[in-house]
Structure 1
Amino acid sequence: MVSAAFASLSSVAVIYPEIREPYRSIFLDIIRGIKNELKTPIKSYALEKNYSIEMLKEKLEKEEINVIIALGGRGLLIARELQSLFRVVVGAVLVAPDGTELTGLSLAPDPQIFFQRVKEFTPDVQRITVIYSQEHNGWLIKRAEQTIRQYELELNALPAKSLREAASLYRDVLNKLKSGTDAIWLLQDKTLDEQTILPLILQEAWERNLVVFSSNLSHLKRGVLFALYPDNENMGRSLAELALKQMQNSENIPLGIKPLHNLLVAFNIRTAEHLGLKLTSQMKREFGLIFPLQ
């Protein structure tokens, strides 16, 4: 619940990129969540590619903005430009805690929620293999290592420095994975070649009944068992909560970048049937998206 003091004393601005549909609606859903959580008017600025940072700064100062919620890649650039002048929260962008002092939510799903779903959907799985770039997803793997033990799962995390190295690792591990007890976790990561390696992984998984799940919704139609994707309105609510915390933070100390908890499940029924999985009616009701469409 947002305090009356926050509602009356602060002014919140949401900055997001001016882009075409259907992507524009994603940002509007996030903004709706922010508004519903704050229960106070906010200012919103849709920025074209050729925006002027100086003009934006003047507008924000004129409106006496206290907190900026910056969305998308364009918002992230603005946040880094303006964080010395305003309290800033970033969201709706893949961002790692790269040493930049920021507060916000990355679009990267929280590994813990993946592990919860793996145990729910495929309780026989014992080991999860993931290949990743240390630069982009090392922070996420660290969190995964901290949380996976409580689900009685083993994490086989293999760093790769290039597409070539990742391709070699994938070919090696695919030969060693066991049907039923092994699963592959695909990250949104520069080490995954969507044109050559992804089809190889999915073909091998289909032929050998291996479980594959992904952080990328586009992989669902290509055959992964399930993917996690953002619940946009509730993500907006979480960003609003972070904005409130920043307002209450008298020293304006950054709270860091966290993985996303506001997630929906996209599930491939055809792949589940191929794997011989049994789904309850309750499970199916909780899916945000089912493929093929039913």
Structure 2
Amino acid sequence: MTTLFFNARRWLCAARRVPALALTLVVLALAAPRAVADGLAPATAGAESAASNALFERYDSGGQYDMTPITVSQLEDQLGRPDLQASAGKGSIAVLYPNVSEPFRSAFIGMIQGIEERTRLRVRSYPVDARFDAAALNAQLRRSCTKVVIALGRQGLNVAASLDRSIVVLVGGALLLSDAEIVNLNGISLTPDPALLFARLRALLPEIKRVIVVYDPKKTEWLLRIAREAAREQGLELASYEARDLAQAAQTYSAQFAAADSRRDAVWLPHDTTTVEEGTLLPLILKQAWNSGVPIFSSNVLHAKKGALFAMSPNNVELGRSLASSAEGAIAGELKKGVQPLRELHTAINLRTASHMGLTIGHGQQRTFDLIYPEP
């Protein structure tokens, strides 16, 4: 039986332009030389048979062309596979993730797990660092028929900036802290959606009417636009105060805690490296909140461990699933524009802080939280 040297990767890339009926015709066309070789064709096909054999002899050393031998019968079997039928023509998804050590590596592996669980497309993952070869990576993505790249983390995002313009890039697993960073980007930030933070606040403390936030407009204005709309929808007043440096932020917090009403006001700590600086400012905020009784909640789960009433953190596997859905949408021509805040979240509660505020969190309510501090 005649053996064909079939470049599977090139065929799959071309298949994105060939409908299912055309794939059947491809099989039938390729089956003709097999019929000749098996003696099933009429004698008048002899010349065509010789020409076909001569053509295939040109590829006898096809290993250098990245080809693998395959019979027409095997090709038919391959084309009939349900997973190939489902993904033919759609290409593959590439995931770029930072080549980092634990515990950060586990977070990205969780995202990749979610991506692979959600999509039926081929997923190829590439650990990247500052030494990556842009030309080699672009070549590899072309060979893999890559249609969408999911860039995880800051390093993944940096690498994605050097990719061919024909490839759609979705960002995920990275904190984006300014309008300048999110311009022309699409995907999901690691910043929790303010709507979910506010909903949890209302569930815990329904008497709260006003949320105070101190922010640097150069870093967090895009998030404040979302937060203002979320607050209006939930009947909350969002009192936002600009602070462009550490000193101004410290002064603003002191003034707001002094004037706040612990029965109706709460303070939100967003991801903002100016106004929620970890070294000196965060301890000051926590101390003022403890002394005044004004509840604080945070976009950073570590703050719940340190004394915030509650906070939220990424659910990495669910984030991966959402990114896979977005990637499939992009392939289908339904790309959701812009960077969205994160809605796939775990929530942490600090029971010591709650008790200090006179708030009782029963066992039933505790089960609605993924993390509890102090740890039992």
**Aligned counterparts, 1:124-163, within 5 A:** 124-163=207-246
Counterpart residue type for residue 279 of structure 2? Q
TM-score (norm 2): 0.73
Q: Cα 1:5–1:76, aligned 2, differ >3 Å: closer, same or farther?
A: farther
Secondary structure of the 1:82 match is: coil
Is the 8 Å Cα contact of residues 223 and 271 (structure 1) preserved in structure 2?
A: yes
Counterpart residue type for residue 244 of structure 1? E
What is the distance in 2 between the residues matched to 1:212 and 1:204? 10
Q: What residue number does 2:333 align with?
A: 249
TM-score (norm 1): 0.93
Secondary structure of the 2:261 match is: coil
Q: What residue number does 1:193 align with?
A: 277
Deviations 1:199-253 (A, max 9, x none): 1111111122110111112212210001110010000011011101111117xx6
Q: Cα 1:100–1:254, aligned 2, differ >3 Å: closer, same or farther?
A: farther
Secondary structure of the 2:259 match is: coil
Q: Cα 1:236–1:219, aligned 2, differ >3 Å: closer, same or farther?
A: same
What is the distance in 2 between the residues matched to 1:117 and 1:134? 25
Counterpart residue type for residue 287 of structure 2? Q
Counterpart residue type for residue 124 of structure 1? E
Counterpart residue type for residue 306 of structure 2? R
Counterpart residue type for residue 219 of structure 1? H
Counterpart residue type for residue 135 of structure 1? K
What is the distance in 1 between the residues matched to 2:187 and 2:125? 18
What is the distance in 2 between the residues matched to 1:285 and 1:109? 20
| 1:7 partnered with 2:87 | yes
Q: What residue number does 1:74 align with?
A: 155
Question: Displacement of 1:138 after TM fit?
Answer: 0.5
| 1:277 partnered with 2:353 | no
Of 267, 272, 290, 1:206 maps to 290
| 1:219 partnered with 2:303 | yes
**Aligned counterparts, 1:100-111, within 5 A:** 100-111=183-194
Secondary structure of the 1:15 match is: strand
- Runs (5+) with no aligned partner, structure 1: none
Question: Displacement of 1:4 after TM fit?
Answer: 8.3
Question: Displacement of 1:274 after TM fit?
Answer: 0.9
Is the 8 Å Cα contact of residues 138 and 164 (structure 2) preserved in structure 1?
A: no
Secondary structure of the 1:78 match is: helix
Indicate the percent of aligned positions where both proteins have the same amino acid: 37
Q: What residue number does 1:291 align with?
A: 373
What is the distance in 2 between the residues matched to 1:113 and 1:231? 14
Q: Cα 1:234–1:4, aligned 2, differ >3 Å: closer, same or farther?
A: farther
Q: Cα 1:279–1:83, aligned 2, differ >3 Å: closer, same or farther?
A: farther
**Aligned counterparts, 1:10-25, within 5 A:** 10-25=91-106
What is the distance in 1 between the residues matched to 2:325 and 2:173? 15
The structure with the largest helix share of the pair is 2
Deviations 1:124-180 (A, max 9, x none): 211110011112211111111112122221110112222222122112112111112
Q: Cα 1:154–1:254, aligned 2, differ >3 Å: closer, same or farther?
A: closer
What is the distance in 2 between the residues matched to 1:167 and 1:6? 57
Q: What residue number does 2:321 align with?
A: 237
What is the distance in 2 between the residues matched to 1:5 and 1:275? 59
| 1:168 partnered with 2:251 | yes
What is the distance in 1 between the residues matched to 2:170 and 2:356? 43
Greater RCO, CA 8 A, separation 6+: 1
What is the distance in 2 between the residues matched to 1:217 and 1:4? 41
Question: Displacement of 1:272 after TM fit?
Answer: 0.8
Give the RMSD, CA atoms, in angstroms. Answer: 1.8
- Runs (5+) with no aligned partner, structure 2: 1-82
Deviates more, 1:97-106 or 1:157-166: 97-106
Query: How many residue pairs end up in the alignment?
Result: 290
Deviations 1:83-142 (A, max 9, x none): 613011110001255363121001111000011000001112111100111122111111
What is the distance in 2 between the residues matched to 1:31 and 1:97? 27
Q: Cα 1:149–1:83, aligned 2, differ >3 Å: closer, same or farther?
A: farther
What is the distance in 1 between the residues matched to 2:167 and 2:86? 16
Is the 8 Å Cα contact of residues 175 and 189 (structure 2) preserved in structure 1?
A: yes
